[in-house]
């Protein structure tokens, strides 16, 4: 094997390249990236970059001196597996012996009328963050369509900057996958910070005047005035370049637990693009758009690309995700979106810090901590032992750093 090509130069691609070299590969490593920026980390884009507490240069991912051929501004347009070549949009082709697909996702664009208006933004890239930051002056009115992690984090950043914010949730509460308890807590927090949060809200259209957005039209016929709009309604995989490759797409790239694409041992996948076997639902696949998972999958794909199919190592990570909003930190492990109920496990008396368990039937599937990093870390290290509610109770009884007995988190 002489050349491994990584398509995608964000976190998963960077980790794949490091892991290939770290695993002893002495051949050629080529990384193709469609952006011109050197690889960067994205979490600060909704927070520190918007409020100005970090610079763009602070987001650069370390590129160690590993003799990796970074080719930036190169977009993959197709894959010819018969000749083992990646076809670039500029007409060039790059041959590979093994390929790691890490083209990630892009922000889901506004599907209704008005998406082309000036002042309508999505947030995924450094350029997106710079454009959004330029809108956030005190007293202006930002309407955020969507109340997931990105919507909530931008709401918090915008409030810090003195921007008037309306956040429109399509669901009964923000942060849908974290359940009603955390969602209700987050809603109250945002309201307390002056955000006009509207739930169960259908957005019909973005309306404008002379090409610039001026209002957001809702399903009930009312309109909300807007100087700028952030559309934060999720992400779609960048898999179009694989459409004619014969590989199975859903639309993520379907792979096994070793990140090997179904049907081609010379193609591996990492990061948000990877649609890998679901741990709780045999036969089904899922994508996870978390920083830590992208880093882990990138490193794993790099390591596995050096092995033959039968020797490859399966993903065994515990998905971790966090969100910082105002002065609060939300951290989650496991699969909260799978839980059918949540209960408080421990809490401080003032309810400022607490831990919530997500259960699917009787089975613990997630732990979510609010302002309780040390406690979350404890659950993380003990997660494999959390067999049921009774076992957790026993473990907590023997643990001396528990925050306190569970109290209702909603004030």
Partner 1 sequence: MKVHVDMNLCQSHGECVVVAPDVFELGDDDVLRWKEDVPEDRRAEMEAAVDACPMMAIRLED
Which residues of the chain form contacts with partner 1 (CB under 8 A)? 15, 18, 41, 43, 61-62, 291-292, 295, 299, 320, 322, 324, 329, 331, 371-374, 376-377, 380-381, 401
CB atoms within 10 A of CB 55: 11
**Least distance to partner 1, CB of residue 57, Å:** 12
Using alpha carbons, select from 241, 229, 233 the residue that is nearest to residue 111.
Answer: 233
Using alpha carbons, select from 9, 231, 239, 42 the residue that is nearest to residue 125.
Answer: 42
**Least distance to partner 1, CB of residue 338, Å:** 22
Identify which of residues 15 and 173 has a Cβ nearer to partner 1 in the complex. Answer: 15
Longest dimension (CA), the chain: 66
The two tokens of residue 337 are 């979106």
Sign for the CA dihedral angle at 64, 300, 236, 83 comes to positive
Q: Which residues pair with 406 in a beta bridge?
A: none
Q: What angle, rounded to 10 degrees, do the helices at 291-305 and 11-22 form?
A: 40
Identify which of residues 41 and 193 has a Cβ nearer to partner 1 in the complex. Answer: 41
**Least distance to partner 1, CB of residue 294, Å:** 10
**Least distance to partner 1, CB of residue 182, Å:** 18
Q: What is the DSSP letter of 63?
A: -
Using alpha carbons, select from 258, 152, 239 the residue that is nearest to residue 195.
Answer: 152
**Least distance to partner 1, CB of residue 291, Å:** 5
**Least distance to partner 1, CB of residue 19, Å:** 9
Identify which of residues 238 and 331 has a Cβ nearer to partner 1 in the complex. Answer: 331
Identify which of residues 222 and 377 has a Cβ nearer to partner 1 in the complex. Answer: 377
Identify which of residues 182 and 402 has a Cβ nearer to partner 1 in the complex. Answer: 402
Backbone angles phi, psi at 334, to 5 degrees: 85, -145
**Least distance to partner 1, CB of residue 125, Å:** 18
Identify which of residues 267 and 299 has a Cβ nearer to partner 1 in the complex. Answer: 299
Cβ neighbors of 120 (< 8 A, separation 6 or more) are 110, 114, 206, 213, 228, 229, 231
Identify which of residues 280 and 381 has a Cβ nearer to partner 1 in the complex. Answer: 381
In three-state secondary structure terms, 383 is helix
Instruction: Give the containing element (helix H, strand E) for 293.
Output: helix 291-305
The two tokens of residue 394 are 């026993």
C-alpha dist (Å) from residue 100 to 3, 4, 259, 265, 391: 11, 8, 9, 11, 41
Identify which of residues 231 and 299 has a Cβ nearer to partner 1 in the complex. Answer: 299
Q: Which residues pair with 158 in a beta bridge?
A: none
**Least distance to partner 1, CB of residue 373, Å:** 4
**Least distance to partner 1, CB of residue 331, Å:** 7
Identify which of residues 71 and 329 has a Cβ nearer to partner 1 in the complex. Answer: 329
Question: Is there a contact between 208 and 114 (Cβ–Cβ < 8 Å)?
Answer: yes
């Amino acid at each position: 094997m002489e050349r491994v090509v990584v398509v995608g130069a964000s976190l998963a691609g960077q980790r794949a390249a490091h892991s290939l070299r770290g695993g002893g590969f002495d051949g050629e490593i080529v990384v193709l990236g469609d952006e011109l920026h050197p690889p960067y980390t994205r979490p600060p884009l909704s927070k520190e970059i918007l409020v100005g507490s970090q610079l763009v240069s602070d987001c650069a991912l370390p590129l160690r001196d590993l003799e990796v051929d970074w080719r930036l501004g190169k977009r993959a347009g197709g894959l010819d597996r018969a000749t083992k070549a990646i076809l670039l949009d500029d007409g060039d082709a790059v041959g590979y012996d093994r390929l790691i697909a890490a083209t990630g996702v892009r922000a889901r664009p506004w599907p209704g009328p008005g998406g082309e208006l000036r002042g309508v933004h999505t947030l995924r890239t450094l350029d997106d963050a710079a454009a959004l930051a330029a809108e956030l002056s005190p007293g202006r009115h930002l309407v955020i369509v969507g109340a997931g992690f990105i919507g909530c984090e931008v709401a918090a950043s915008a409030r810090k900057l003195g921007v008037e914010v309306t956040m429109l949730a399509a669901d009964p509460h923000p942060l849908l996958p974290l359940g009603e308890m955390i969602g209700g807590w987050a809603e109250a927090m945002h309201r307390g910070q002056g955000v006009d949060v509207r739930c169960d809200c259908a957005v019909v259209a973005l309306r404008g005047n002379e090409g610039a957005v001026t209002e957001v039209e809702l399903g009930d016929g009312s309109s909300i005035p807007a100087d700028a709009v952030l559309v934060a309604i999720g992400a779609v995989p960048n898999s179009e370049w694989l459409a004619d490759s014969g590989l199975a797409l859903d639309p993520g790239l379907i792979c096994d637990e070793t990140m090997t694409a179904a049907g081609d041992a010379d193609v591996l996948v990492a990061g948000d693009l990877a649609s890998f076997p679901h741990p709780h639902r045999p036969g089904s696949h899922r994508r996870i758009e978390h920083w830590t998972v992208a880093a882990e999958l990138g490193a794993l794909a790099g390591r596995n690309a050096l092995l033959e199919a039968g020797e490859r190592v399966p993903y065994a990570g515990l998905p971790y995700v966090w969100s910082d909003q105002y002065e609060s930190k939300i951290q989650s492990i496991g699969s909260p979106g799978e839980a059918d109920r949540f209960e408080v496990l421990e809490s401080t008396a003032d309810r400022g810090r607490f831990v919530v368990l997500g259960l699917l039937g009787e089975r613990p599937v997630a732990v979510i901590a609010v302002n309780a990093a040390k406690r979350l870390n404890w659950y993380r290290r003990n997660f494999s032992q959390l067999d049921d509610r009774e076992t957790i109770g026993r473990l907590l009884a023997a643990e001396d750093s528990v925050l306190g007995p569970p109290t209702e988190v909603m004030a």
